Homo-oligomer: A and B are copies of this chain.
Amino acid sequence: MSDQYFTEQQTPYLRLGVRVVRELHAEQTQYQSLKVYETTELGRMLVLDEIIQLTTSDEFTYHEMVAHVPLTIHPDPRTALVIGGGDGGVVREALRHDSLERADLVDIDEAVVRIGKQFFPSVSAGYADPRSHVYIADGIVHVRDHPGEYDVVMIDSTDPIGPAVGLFRADFYRSVYDCLREPGLFTQQIGSPFYNGEFIQQTVAAAREAFPVVRVYTGVVPTYPGGLWCYLLGMKGELGLVPNEARADKVTGRYYSAAVHRGAFCLPPFVASLVNGEK
| A interface list, Cβ under 8 A from B | 5, 7, 11-19, 39-42, 57-58, 60-61, 192, 194-195, 220-228, 252-257, 259-260, 262-270
Contacts and interface: CB of A to CB of B under 8 A. Distances in A.
A263 B220 CA distance: 13
Counting from the closest, the 5 A-B pairs by CB-CB distance are A227-B227, A263-B263, A222-B226, A263-B266, A15-B17
A17 B2 CA distance: 14
**A41, A221, A228, A252 — which one has the most chain B CB atoms within 10 A of its CB?**
A228
Copies of the polypeptide in the assembly: 2
A17 B13 CA distance: 8
Interface on chain A toward B: helix, strand, loop, or mixed SS?
A: loop
B228 A254 contact: no
B16 A14 contact: yes
B58 A194 contact: yes
A17 B19 contact: no
Contact of A270 (B13, B195, B255, B267): B255
Contacts of A266: 257, 259-260, 262-263
Nearest to A229: B227
Given A194-B58, A228-B222, A11 B260 contact: no
A216 to B, nearest CB: 14
B15 A61 contact: no
A262 B265 CA distance: 11
Contact of A13 (B18, B252, B257): B18
A199 B204 CA distance: 39
